Structure formats: C-alpha cells, structure tokens
Amino acid sequence: MNVIILYQHLVREWDASQRLRALYEEAGDNAIVCSIDFERVKAYKYAKKNIPDVILVPFFVDHEHEEWLSAFIDLNRDVKIINLHQEQIGSKFSVGLMLPRTPFTKNGSFHFAWGEYFKALLLSCGVKEENIIITGNSRNDFRNITHTDKKELASHYGLSPSKKWILFAENRGWYLGRNKEYTKRTLAPRGMTDEHFYRAVREEKENLDAFADQMRLLTEEFGREYEFIYRPHPGTVLHYELPKWVHIIADRPIYDWIACCDLFLTCESTSIFEAEMMGKPCAFVPSINIPDDDNKMAGVWDYPRLDRITEITDSLIERIRSENESRGTIYTRYLGEVDGNAASRIVAASRAVRDIAVDEADKVYSHATPKQLLRQFLYEKATWVTTKTGLLDRLKFPSSAYAEKRDIPYSPENAWISRITYNGGGGQLRFRLKPRVYISRQYFETSASSLAA
C-alpha cells in the first residue's frame, strides 16, 4: 500500500517517523515522510503519483485540519486517516483542545492511543471504540537507542564531560511566539475563548519571567560545577536572556540528552515521563503557583517538586533519585506499554484498518478553497527561498516559519537529521554524509552497538 507519514516537530517525531517508513518499506509498501507544516505540497505531489491508502498525521481535530488533507482525500475517498495524537497528555483544558471535534475527525478517521488513559478521553468526546487502537508510543521505542554518548555531545557542544549535567526541558513559549489573532481564530473552534487565550498568554509570560529571574540568581560558581542545558520547547523561539554559561540547545532527539544527563528538570513538559522511564532523577520546577487544577499538567505534579533552581546540590540530586526509586512508577499510566515494539504495532494496525469500511455519514469533510491551496503553495515556496538564502533570520518572514524554524527540515540548523535514517525493521542504519554535519568515529561505534543490542 501507499503511505504518507506527516510529522510536525523534528526533535519529537523525526526518528520515529523514519523508523515507521523503514518498517513499511520492509513490508513491501511505499512510504514517504513529510512535514505537515512545510512539505504538504511535496506530499501531495507524491500522492498524485502514489494514490495514498493510509495517511498518518500528528493531529486531526477540526475543520481546518480537514481542509489541510482534503486534496489528499479527494484522490481516494477510501483513504484511511490515522491520527497518531502526538500529544496525548496535558492539563484538562489543553487536552480538550487536542480532542477531535467533527464527525470526520472523530469517526471518519482512526485513532492510535498510547494506552488506556488517552483511550478513555477519546471515548468521552464521542469517538467509537472500534475506531481506537492501543499501540503504545513509537517515540518510546528509542529509550534504549541513542545516537551518541556524553563524550561526543561534550565535544560537539562545548560541554565538560566531567561535570554533572542538568537538563531542563521547556514546555512554555508556544503562546508567546504566535500571531495572537491567527492563533485565537485557530483555537476558537476547539473551545478556547478570548478570555482563556489571553489568560494563557499572560500566565505563560509571568511563568517564564519568574523562571528567568531564578536563572539569573545562579552564580558562575554554579556554572563551574554543573553544565546547565536548556532545551526550548519544539516550535518556539527564546524570548528572554539566560546566563551566558547556560547552554541553549534545541537539536537532536531528547533521548540523546536524557541518556547523558544527571538530573532532569522541567516546568510541565511531559518528557519527564521519558526521563523517569530511563531511570533518571527528575523533578518539576513550577516557577509560579497554578491554583486551577484544570490547568495543571496531568501526572507531572506527582514528581518531586523543586521550588528554586538555586537549591540544586549533589546531595539534592541524590535525594531526588532516592525519591524516584522508592516511589512506584508514574509514567506507565500515561505512556502505555513501553517495549520497543510500538512502531511495529502501528504498521500492523494501519494495514489492518486499510480495508475497514467507514460510515458515509462520518466521511463528510471540509474542502480547502483554491485560494487556500495557493496560499499554502506560496508559503512553502517563500519559506524555502528565505531559508536557503539565509534571509529567514534577517527578514523574519514568513513570520510563522520563523517562529517554527527549528522544524524546517531543509534548514542548515537541522542538519543533524541527515545523519541517520533507519534501513529496515531490524534497526540497521544507513549513514549519509553532508557538508557541515559532524560525525565522529565514536558516533558510528556507539550507534551501531546500541542498535545491535
């Protein structure tokens, strides 16, 4: 069959998407991986020559998303849209924004849930049980596979391998980096009011300002003892200054960084579940109090709480490690089964649903207008030109592309994605050298040995 795999965030989904592609090809299928934001035209050109049987998407919520895929569905009315729901954990309010809203996004498509937690949420919004399949999260297949080690990361990013590494995974900044009017219009059909939107913007700014104030209290002495690695939220640009000795690094899959850190911190990033899963001492740092339970990230507030980053010492890290080890696991409730085989289950399940008939009443979908299609074409062209010429950073145009430049697959900043592609379900690697891509001998050795294990 012909498969199109659409992803949104490179650091979040690239590895998993490439492994899915390799597994499909190993099964004799045709598959392509494209960015849902920057390569829809490329995906459509592929679809015209290879009429799609299955399209995997990172989200599929409302009429706007139906319009994005309408040209593909017009090529094959029986194409199966599979929503991978790349964000399945959030606060009560934020999860509500991610759940499907229309008949087509609910039951004209299929939903792959990580576990029972998200399946229950899908059922609560009207998705039929037969349209939900529990597969696990294919991104978690990589928990024991990293592309590097601490020594190589230290060499490439100017870090000291002899210090303890503190990794802070950011989850804030999304609202601040968006065109407010456009974002309001986009989120309104999903239940977000203007009042709630501006509250979210205000609280996000207050939260980040408080965090920045905390970070400025850290001394250079702290920086001589620890390496502090700050990882911005995917699709965001930093809006405040941090001490010069803080390393702001957004590239590479997060598993590479978690594997090498000695302490994992976050405000409310759900990557804390992956950190616990990988056996790292982890804690959350709420810069401001969140009194409303509906706006608290599910599960994150169950981890050890660190009120001030200035409290970090070696003994505190060991205390957090001890708390994590003595407490029962938290991540299993939210991530589902983690056994390294989620991608294989996704491929098998998508092949199974290919021939399942969908009720005609659920297959009604919104169509993109010729003007909308032209706008997307021009947007992708403008993004390509400004990125390739280096004008994107200077002109900050297109503005939405600039805000999400770390997800542009052909950007020089994202050259790391060219290092490795998966070649077959057995996990073999195919390496491709490109200019300005750093690959050490140790990289080859550790990558090959990890996958062999």
Residue 438 has pLDDT above 80, yes or no: no
pLDDT of residue 179: 63
Q: What residues contact residue 413 under an 8 Å CB cut-off, 6+ apart?
A: 251, 405, 406
| Residue recorded with tokens 């620890």 | 226
Mean pLDDT of the chain: 87
What is the pTM (predicted TM-score) of this model? 0.82
CA distance 440 to 418: 14
Residue 383 has pLDDT above 90, yes or no: yes
Contact 14, 86 (CB under 8 A): no
**Cα distances (angstroms) measured from residue 177 to each of 235, 247, 299, 403:** 9, 21, 26, 6
**Cα distances (angstroms) measured from residue 221 to each of 119, 214, 227, 245:** 48, 15, 11, 10
Average pLDDT over residues 84-113: 93
Residue type, 249: I
DSSP 16-82: HHHHHHHHHHHTT-EEEEEETTT-HHHHHHHHHHS--SEEEES---SHHHHHHHHHHHHH-TTPEEE
pLDDT per position as a tens digit, 232-269: 887 776 767 888 889 999 888 888 999 999 999 999 89
Contact 279, 299 (CB under 8 A): no
Residue 74 has pLDDT above 90, yes or no: yes
pLDDT of residue 173: 82
DSSP assignment letter at 7 = E
Backbone dihedral region for residue 237 (phi beyond 0: left; psi -120 to 50: alpha; all else: beta): beta
Q: What residues contact residue 270 under an 8 Å CB cut-off, 6+ apart?
A: 89, 90, 171, 297, 299, 300, 334
pLDDT per position as a tens digit, 147-170: 778 999 999 999 999 999 999 999
Q: Among 43-52, 53-62, 318-327, 347-356, where is mean pLDDT lowest?
A: 318-327
Give the model's confidence band at 357: pLDDT under 50 very low, under 70 low, under 90 confident, else very high. very high
CA distance 150 to 259: 8
